[in-house]
Structure 1
Amino acid sequence: MDSVLFTNIRPHDLLVVDGRIADPSTRPENTVIVDGGGALALPAPVDAHIHPDKTTWGHTWLSRTPASTLRELIEGEVKARAGMTASVAERAGALMDSAVARGTRAWRAHVDVAPEYGLANVHGVREAAEARRHLLDVQIVAFPQLGLLTRPGTAELMERSLGEGADVIGGLDPLGIDGDLHGHLDVLFGLAERTGAPLDIHLHDGGEQGLAQVREIARRATGTRVTISHAFCLAEARELDDLLAESNVALTTCALGADPVLPVGPLTAAGVLLAAGSDGVRDPWTPFGDGDMIARAHLLAYRTDARTDEELAACYAVAAHGGAALLGLERVDLKAGDPADFVLVPAASLAEAVVDRPAPLLVVRGGAVIAREGRLLERSPR
C-alpha cells in the first residue's frame, strides 16, 4: 500500500493512500511525509480547449502575418504549418510537459483533420499523449479546421480518426465556414449517432446568426453529449441559458484577447456546464498563451471583472471542476475518496491564487509529486 501524508498545508493535511485522498485517522504505518511548506492545496485544473498540433512551443519563433478574418487566419495557418520542421509529437509533447509542470491534470485537445493532413496530426498528438499517460489525461477532438462540407473526404477521415486516436467529433461554424447549418449538423450528429462519440463544435459566428445555430444545436442535442466552444454570440445574450441547461449543452470559453468572454455567474447559476481552455498557444494564430490553467483562471476573472473572493473562486471552479465534468473525470474536492490530483501553491487563499497566478510549489498526480516549482520532475521518454 502506497501512503503519503502531505502536511503543513492549507486548508488541512492530506493523506493519500493508493492514489486517493483518505481519512487521516486511517494513516498506515510507513507513511511517507511530505512537508508542504504552508502552501495552499487546490484541485488540479483542466484545459478543456487547446490546439496542440498547431503550437510552436519549445521550437523556433514564428513571426505571424496580419489577418483580419477567420478565413484569413485559417489560410495563413496552412502556409505556416508547411514550414514547421519539428514534428507534431515533438511540439505537442513539449507543450504537454510545460502544462503538467504548471499543474494541468487533463486536456481536451482539438486536432486538425483534413484531406491535406490526413490523420497525421491525430497520430502525432496521440503519440505524445501516450508517452505521458502517467502525467496527463488527453482527450482528442477530430477537428475540421479547414471546413467539413467544403472539404470532401473530411467527414470520412473524422470517422476513421475515432479508431486511430481521437475520442470526440468536432465541428466549426456551420454557417460562417460551411454555409449550411443543417447539412453541417446532419453530418456531425449522424457521426455521433453511429459512433457514440461526443461532439464539440467551435462557434465563432456572432449575433442572430450565431444564436440561430445555438438553438438548432440545442434542439438536436437530445441523447448526444454536446459542447459549444467559444460561443461568442452568448456573451451578452441570456435568453438561451435555460435552453442550454435543459438540453445539457456544455460551453467552453478561453478569455482571449478582444474576443467576447462567456459570463461565469449567469451561466453557472442557470445550470449550464462551463469549462475553460487555452485555445491556441504560440501558434500561427497568436504569439500568446502558455498552457497554464491557473493563469487562464486569472484571465477569465480579469475579463469578467471578478472582484469578490466568491467571484474569483468561481473562475477557478470553471477551470477545475467545469473542465473535469466536461471530460468525464472525477471531481476533486480534496475530500476522502477523491483522486489525489492537486497542486500546492504559495497563496493565502484561492482568491489570492487566482489573482497572483503563482507557479505551483508541487504538482501531485495520484499522490505522486510529478513537478516542483514549475519544473517537471519525471520527463516522459522521447
Structure 2
Amino acid sequence: MTSVLLADVRPWGGDAVDVTIVDGLISELSPAGSGGAADERIDGRGLLALPGFVNAHAHVDKSWWGQKWVSYGGEPTTQGRIAHERAERDKYGIPSVDSTKAVLREFVRHGTTATRTHVDVDLGVGLRGIAGVLEAADDLNGAVEIELVAFPQDGVLRRPGVLELLDKAAAEGATSIGGLDPATIDRDPVGQLDALFEIATRRDVGLDLHLHDHGDLGAFQYELIAERTIQAGLQGKVNVSHGFALGELPSARRADLVQLLGEAGISWTTVAPPASAPLPFREMRAAGVPIGLGTDGIRDLWSPYGDGDLLQVARGFARLHGLRTDEDLTYAVELATTYGAPFVHRENHGLTVGARADIVLLDAENAPDVLVRAPRREVVIAAGQVVVRDGELQV
C-alpha cells in the first residue's frame, strides 16, 4: 500500500483541504492541516484543484506534432480531407508511435488524464494505428488512460473489408467502433447503421458516430440512430460526434429530437468549432443527453490548429454559447472534467472519495477564473503520481 498526502488545496476554489491518496485512489478529504502521515507529501500551496480533464473526442494517431511544419492542402470538404490524408499520410509517417506519444504528452501537460480517441482503421493501415496508440500510452506509464474507438475514416460499406476490420478491432479490445456520415459517405444510411449496430450488439461494444451532415439530412440520421439504439437495447452505449445539424433545426423539431435522443440514452461530443450553430445544451441537460468536450485532431492533415489544451475548448464552448454567469462558466469547466466521466466509462471522476486520484492544480481564484484565463497547470497528478510539476512534464 502506498499513500500520498496532497496538502492545502482548494477543490473548485472552495475551502482548503488535505487530500489523502492510497494506491492511486482518493481515500479521504479533510480540513487543511489535519491530514495524517503518508509515504509522500505534496504541498498544494493553496492552489485551486480540479479533477483531471477528460478529452472525449480526440484523434491522437493522426498528428504530425513534433515534426516539421506541414502546410495545409487538399479540398476543404469532408471527402476532400479524407482523400488528401490518404494521399499524404505515409509521407509523414502517420500513424506514428512517436507523434502519438508527443500529442499524449501535451494532453498530460495541460491536465488531461483520460481520453476517448478515435483511431483510423482502414485497408491501408489495418489495426496498426490501434497498436501504436496503445504502445504510446504504455510508454507514459498510465499518465493518461486511453479508451479506443476503431474509426472507419474512409467509409464503411464503400470500402469492402472495413467491416471485418471493425469487427476484429471490437474482438481485440476496442471499447467502441465508429461510423461516418452514413448518408453522404456510404450513401446508404440504413446499410451502414445496420452493419455497425450488428457488430456492436454481437461484440457488446459501443458506437461513436461522426456526423457532419447539416439540416434535415443530419436530423434524419439522428432519428435512424435513436430508433436503432432503442431496438437494439444499446441505450447508454451510443454517441454522436459533432452533430452540427442539431443546433440548426427549427425549435419544435429540435425539441422533439432532443427528447428522442434522451429516451435512446444517446450522448453527444463536440469540439465547439466557432462557425457552428450553438447546441441546445440546456434542453439536452434537461432530457438527460450527456455532453462531452474534445480537441478533435491536433496538427494533422485535416487542420494545423490545436495544442491539446481542453480548457481552450471549454472556453470556446462558453463563447459559442454566450455563457457569462459564474454558474454557466463553471458548467463549461465541468464539461471538461467531471461530466466527461461517462465517455471513458468512469462512474466516479471527481475530487471525491473512491475516485482515481487525477487532480490538476492551478493558480486561480475559482472555476470561472480558470476558464477565462486558462492558466498554466502547476501540478498534475494521475492515479496518485505527479506527472507535471511547476508546469513541466515528469513523464
**Shared fold, TM over 0.5:** yes
The question of 1:291 aligning with 2:303 is answered no
Query: What's the RMSD between the two structures over aligned residues?
Result: 1.8
| Contact 1:47–1:278 (CA under 8 A) maintained in structure 2 | yes
Mean CA deviation greater in 75-84 or 124-133: 124-133
Q: Deviations over 1:329-371 (max 9, x none)?
A: 1333312333221101111000110111112110011222111
The question of 1:355 aligning with 2:372 is answered yes
The CA deviation at 1:191 is 0.5
What amino acid maps onto 1:65 in structure 2? Answer: G
TM-score, L = length of structure 1: 0.94
Q: Deviations over 1:149-207 (max 9, x none)?
A: 11010000111122445221100000011111110001100111110110000000010
The CA deviation at 1:261 is 4.3
The question of 1:150 aligning with 2:158 is answered yes
What amino acid maps onto 2:222 in structure 1? Answer: V
Matching residue of 2:347: 330
1:199-214 pair list within 5 angstroms: 199-214=207-222
1:96-135 pair list within 5 angstroms: 96-135=104-143
Mean CA deviation greater in 194-203 or 110-119: 110-119
The CA deviation at 1:72 is 0.7
The CA deviation at 1:111 is 1.0
Q: 2:245 aligns with which of 223, 229, 233?
A: 233
Q: Deviations over 1:107-161 (max 9, x none)?
A: 1111111112222212211221222352111111111111101101000011112
Q: Distance in 2 between matches of 1:244 and 1:140?
A: 23
Greater per-residue strand proportion: 2
Cα separation, partners in 2 of 1:5 and 1:140, compared to 1, 3 Å: same
Cα separation, partners in 2 of 1:29 and 1:295, compared to 1, 3 Å: same
Flag structure 1 segments of 5+ consecutive residues without an equivalent: none
The CA deviation at 1:295 is 1.9
| Contact 1:59–1:86 (CA under 8 A) maintained in structure 2 | no
Matching residue of 1:301: 318
Residue identity over aligned pairs, in percent, reads 40
Matching residue of 2:385: 368
SS in 2 for 1:23: strand
How many correspondences in the alignment? Answer: 378
The question of 1:15 aligning with 2:17 is answered no
SS in 1 for 2:315: helix
Q: 1:321 aligns with which of 322, 328, 338?
A: 338
The question of 1:193 aligning with 2:201 is answered yes
Flag structure 2 segments of 5+ consecutive residues without an equivalent: none
TM-score, L = length of structure 2: 0.91
Q: Distance in 2 between matches of 1:261 and 1:374?
A: 33
| Contact 1:248–1:272 (CA under 8 A) maintained in structure 2 | yes
What amino acid maps onto 1:337 in structure 2? Answer: G
The CA deviation at 1:305 is 1.4
SS in 2 for 1:105: strand
| Contact 1:254–1:261 (CA under 8 A) maintained in structure 2 | no
| Contact 1:52–1:125 (CA under 8 A) maintained in structure 2 | yes
| Contact 2:63–2:94 (CA under 8 A) maintained in structure 1 | no
| Contact 2:3–2:38 (CA under 8 A) maintained in structure 1 | yes
| Contact 1:52–1:110 (CA under 8 A) maintained in structure 2 | yes
Mean CA deviation greater in 77-86 or 357-366: 77-86
Matching residue of 2:6: 6
Q: 2:54 aligns with which of 46, 53, 77?
A: 46
What amino acid maps onto 1:230 in structure 2? Answer: H
Q: Distance in 2 between matches of 1:134 and 1:292?
A: 19
